[in-house]
Amino acid sequence: PPKMRVHVVRPSGAEVAMVDAEPSWTAREVILQIREKLSGRGLTHRLLLGAVVLTGSTTLNDLELVDGSQLIVVTSPGQLATASADCTARLWDAATGEQMQTLEGHGAAVRSVVFSPDGEWILTASEDHSARIWEVATGRCTLTLDGHEDWVRSAAFSPDAAQVVTASDDNTAKVWESASGRCVLTLEGHEGKVHSAAFSPDGAWLITASEDKTAKIWELPSGECVRTLKGHGDAVNSAIFSPDGRRVLTASDDRTARIWQTSSGRVLVTVNGHSNDVHSAAFSPDATRVLTASADCIAKVWETASWQVQELEGNGSLVWSAAFSMDGKRVITASDDGTAKVWESASGQCMQRLEGHLSVVFSATFSPTFPEIA
């Protein structure tokens, strides 16, 4: 069939682009054609015909578009991402809680999901032994990182997004070039599964957390292990650097989180208060608070000056992970009941519940552009 000319306009009526489209094109293919004209980083673009949103595999032909038809493009700033045992990651509109896209392609549970620092890419880690990089604007998988011999439990971008680090049940972490997918470094030294891996804020170091009850700090680009953090009484589930890189925060199955001095490896604070495994721990962007997620069905926000605590209650089931928004005003939790929830971090009030996954939600996160709508 011949191509048709489609006019893409803003809700105001201002024309964004004119496209000669194939009738078989989906919304994704139209957006790919006009992407250069859609300014703004980390934004989500949706196409509407009247009030109907073009979703998934719906083609222009399905909508009975004709030559000269008009499509409306709506751009929204903030997004949430979730990863689930149902083998998918999903993107949600942070303003409405509406599901925007489903990222399909992994062959097993998706254990973690993060945005790139500019919000334009998503990185997932899966039990299918791979990690994948996806384009936010289109939901397209652009790269698959294959090389681990067991589950990949977490994956993170470097601060400049040029590299990715993955953590695996094969007892290693690997560093990859995010443009080419080439593995440039394998970190060996843990005596158990590696549960998480993350870069320091300056990109000069890596931290890994392991089932062997330790976290390790590695120098880049050499991959030399420079410090082993010992003290937890059980598996370490997550480890991250503070925003200034001077401290490390770990979460463990010993029911505690710990703050360590990066330079000495000394424990500064042990955070007690959960009655079951602590699955994840995160610093707020200004490092004045710590967020913990636990198998005791509660996430907690701790003030680091006083160690006063705000409980996020009402999850009703085990909490796999929790993350702050970039402005620290919101928290998102990932839960065993197949939902993610957004909370006000100061009051502990549940603001939003994201429903749609078919199984456990292991990971949930905010896009870097999130505060624009708050």
Residue 76 pLDDT greater than 80, yes or no: no
Tell me: the pLDDT tens digits for 280-332?
Answer: 999 999 999 999 999 999 999 999 999 999 999 877 899 999 999 988 999 99
- The answer to whether residue 374 scores a pLDDT higher than 70 is no
DSSP for residue 59: B
**Phi and psi based region of residue 101 (left: phi greater than 0; alpha: psi -120 to 50; beta: remaining):** beta
Confidence of residue 354 (pLDDT cuts 50, 70, 90): very high
Cα(349)–Cα(193) distance, rounded to whole angstroms? 35
pLDDT of 246 > 90? The answer is: yes
E-assigned strands of 50-182? 52-53, 70-76, 79-84, 88-93, 99-104, 110-115, 121-126, 130-135, 141-146, 152-157, 163-168, 172-177
What was the pLDDT predicted at 13? 85
| pLDDT at residue 373 greater than cutoff 60 | no
Residue 251 has pLDDT above 70, yes or no: yes
DSSP state of 368: T
Q: What is the pLDDT of residue 126?
A: 98
Rg (CA), the chain: 21
Distance CA 87, CA 197 (A): 21
Alpha-carbon gap, residue 257 to 340, rounded angstroms? 22
> Average model confidence (pLDDT) for the chain?
92
Q: pTM of the prediction?
A: 0.81
Instruction: Quickly state the pLDDT bin for 218 (edges 50, 70, 90).
Output: very high
Please give the average per-residue pLDDT across 63-77, as a whole number.
Answer: 82
Mean pLDDT calculated for residue range 57-78? 82
Task: Give the mean pLDDT of 129-142.
Answer: 92
CA 180/CA 352 separation, integer angstroms: 38
Neighbours of 16 (CB within 10 A): 18
CB 111 within 8 A of CB 126: yes
CA distance 67 to 35: 21
Rounded mean pLDDT, 100-113: 96
Q: What average pLDDT does range 195-212 have in this prediction?
A: 97
Tokens describing residue 322: 């929790």
Give the sign of the dihedral formed by CA 222, CA 223, CA 225, CA 231.
positive
Q: pLDDT by residue (tens digit) across 356-369?
A: 999 999 999 998 86
Residue 247 contacts residue 286 (beta carbons within 8 Å): no
- Rounded to an integer, what distance in angstroms lies between the CA atom of residue 322 and that of residue 40? 27
pLDDT tens per residue, range 85-103 = 999 999 998 877 889 899 9
- Residues 6 or more apart in contact with residue 146 via CB below 8 angstroms: 129, 130
pLDDT of residue 273: 96
Q: Among residues 292, 262, 299, 294, which one has the least CA distance to residue 276?
A: 294
Give the pLDDT confidence score for residue 137 in this predicted structure.
79
Tens of pLDDT, residue by residue over 12-38, are 888 888 999 999 988 878 888 887 777
Judge whether 232 and 248 are in contact, CB under 8 Å.
Answer: no
Per-residue pLDDT reduced to its tens digit, 169-191:
999 999 999 999 999 999 999 99
φ, ψ of residue 6 to 5 degrees: the values are -120, 135
User: Residue 75 burial by CB count (10 A; 0-12/13-18/19+): exposed, middle or buried?
Assistant: middle
Q: In this predicted model, what pLDDT tens digit does every residue of 32-67 receive, in sequence order?
A: 888 777 765 446 677 888 877 776 567 888 888 889
pLDDT digits (tens, 9 = 90+) for 325-350: 988 999 999 999 999 999 999 999 99
Between CA 63 and CA 74 the distance in angstroms is 18
Q: Which residue did the predictor score with more confidence, 6 or 88?
A: 88
Decide: helix, strand or coil at residue 296.
Answer: coil
- Return the percentage of the chain with pLDDT > 90, whole number: 72
Other residues' Cβ atoms within 10 Å of the Cβ of residue 66: 11
Q: What's residue 136's pLDDT?
A: 87
* Cis amide linkage into residue 159, ω under 30° from 0: no
Residue type, 96: T
Q: pLDDT band at 77, cuts 50/70/90?
A: low
Give the chain's end-to-end CA distance (angstroms, integer): 46
Q: Of the given ranges (41-45, 148-152, 161-165), which has the lowest mean pLDDT? A: 41-45
Residue 10's pLDDT is what?
84
Quote the pLDDT of residue 117.
86
Contacts of 36 by beta carbon, 8 Å cutoff, 6+ apart: none
